[in-house]
Amino acid sequence: MTAPVADRSNALHAGAWWLWALGLAAAASRTTNPLLLALLVAVSGYVVAVRRTAAPWARSYGAFLKLGLAVLVIRLVFTVLLGSSVPGTRVLFTLPEIPLPYWAQGIRLGGPVSAEGVAFALRQALRLATLLVCIGAANALANPARLLKSLPAALYEVGVAVVVAMTSAPTLVADMARLRSARRLRGRKDKGPAALVRVAIPVLEGALERSVALAASMDARGYGRTAAVPAAVRRTTAVLTLGGLLGVCVGSYGLLTTVGGAFGLPLLLAGLAAALGGLYLGGRRSVRTRYRPDRWGARAWAVSLSGVAVAAVTVWAAGAYPQAMNPPAVPLTAPELPLLPAAGVLLGLLPALVAPVPARPAARPQKEVQ
């Protein structure tokens, strides 16, 4: 099946992208083999490169890549400065050791840096970085506004609030720039942090005025219209939601402590069920309908299942090939690529084939320049 050009009617469900990305992330969490991790990053990067849109959030992938790189660097620096928990024999170099007082024993500053320690740290860091990059891929590919639209009806209004906040953020940045240039018009300095601080108050004033106007507009357009719901249903909703949340809290506590092992899990499940029931009933108060919600079609299944498949193969491989999936740092060996898990990771490329191709705007949308 070839991928069509994306439009509103065949847009891939945002949830499918998230499932796919979480699948890759789960796979990354089961291995420290740098070759496999690099393969995962490559897979996610390739899919992002061929399927991301021109939307602002699509640019976040680069930021996540940089974040991953920062994780690597920080971990490396700490390993070099503080030493490693892994005993190593191949000393790369030795830093002068700084003696610490007795109460800080167990912490070492400086000293020998071993190849094993560095390799171990880098593999661990690479795993975390890969996880972050996978999340970044979901961020870049899935439209956050559409994702929020898929929330249950009772949470819809929260979703709208988040969407409004997201769309007003660029406006705030534009206001900031405009007011800074206005400082120049007054003959004041328009550069430097002081200028930035000075415009903060007018920017906030403007934002406040705008949000009041927006609230008026939303009110006039029917935001918050509710259906009449029988009092019994209303009360049941409240009881279920509150009781459910309480159950979830106590249940998780029970699961995490040794005492409550017996009642923890059932209570957690019962709480979850009650909370979901409350959300469902709460949705009946809302009269909203949804305009062209993203449909969960065959392509969404393919994309999400490819992510799940990657995760499943890696989990299975972690048990079947422990040596290859988590190569030991001591003794230090060159990692080898386990073929079967690698082939499994390549399943994650499926979205690059089946997900609709974003339409490339023929001409860049003319930004209003006044």
Partner 1 sequence: MIRFEDVSVVHPGAPAPAVAGVDLTVPEGELCLLVGPSGVGKSTLLGTVSGLVPHFTGGTLHGRVTVDGRDTRTHRPRELADLVGTVGQDPQAHFVTDTVEDELAYGMESLGLPADTMRRRVEETLDLLGLTDLRERPIATLSGGQQQRVAIGSVLTTHPKVLVLDEPTSALDPAAAEEVLAVLQRLVHDLGTTVLMAEHRLERVVQYADRVVLLPGPGQAPVVGTPADVMGVSPVFPPVVALGRLAGWSPLPLTVRDARRRAGDLRERLASVPTVPASGAPDAAGVVGVPAAAAGPSPLPAVAPGAGAVEEAGTPETAGRGGPDGRGGLWSRLRTRLGSGNAASPKGRSGAPGPAGGAPAAAVPSPAAPAGAPGDADGPGTGGPFAEAAGLSVRRGPVPALRRVDLTVRRGEAVALMGRNGAGKSTLLGTLVGLHAPSSGSVTVGGRTPHRTGPRELLRHVGLVPQDPRDLLTASTVAAECEAADRDAGAEPGTCRALVSALLPGVDDAAHPRDLSEGQRLALALAVVLAAEPPLLLLDEPTRGLDYAAKARLVEHLAGLTARGHAVVLATHDVELAAEVAHRVVILADGEVVADGPSAEVVVSSPTFAPQVAKVLQPQRWLTVRQVAAALGEAS
Q: Which residues bind partner 1 (CB under 8 A)?
A: 7-8, 55, 145, 160, 163-164, 166-167, 170-171, 178-179, 181-190, 198-199, 201-202, 205-206, 209-210, 213-225, 227, 287-292, 364-370
Residue 179 CB, shortest distance to partner 1, in Å, is: 6
The residue among 35 and 166 lying less far from partner 1, judged by its C-beta, is 166
| Alpha carbons within 13 A on the beta-carbon side of 24 | 36
* Cis ω for the linkage preceding 322 (within 30 of 0): no
CA–CA distance, 71 with 168 (Å, rounded to integer):
31
The residue among 44 and 139 lying less far from partner 1, judged by its C-beta, is 139
Residue 150 CB, shortest distance to partner 1, in Å, is: 14
The residue among 94 and 167 lying less far from partner 1, judged by its C-beta, is 167
The residue among 108 and 284 lying less far from partner 1, judged by its C-beta, is 284
The residue among 109 and 166 lying less far from partner 1, judged by its C-beta, is 166
- Of 307, 241, 338, 329, residue with least CA distance to 36: 338
User: Between the CA of residue 52 and those of 3, 12, 41, 59, what are the distances in Å?
Assistant: 14, 12, 16, 9
The residue among 101 and 364 lying less far from partner 1, judged by its C-beta, is 364
Residue 10 CB, shortest distance to partner 1, in Å, is: 13
Residue 189 CB, shortest distance to partner 1, in Å, is: 6
The C-alpha torsion from 308 through 270 and 157 to 143, rounded to 10°, is -10
Residue 246 CB, shortest distance to partner 1, in Å, is: 32
The C-alpha torsion from 27 through 29 and 35 to 40, rounded to 10°, is 50
The C-alpha torsion from 33 through 36 and 40 to 45, rounded to 10°, is 100
Q: Give the pair of three-digit tokens for residue 215.
A: 């609230």
Residue 20 CB, shortest distance to partner 1, in Å, is: 23
Residue 13 CB, shortest distance to partner 1, in Å, is: 16
Answer for the pair 305, 349: CB distance below 8 angstroms, yes or no. Answer: no
The residue among 173 and 249 lying less far from partner 1, judged by its C-beta, is 173
* CB neighbour list of residue 228: distance below 8 Å, 6 or more residues apart: none
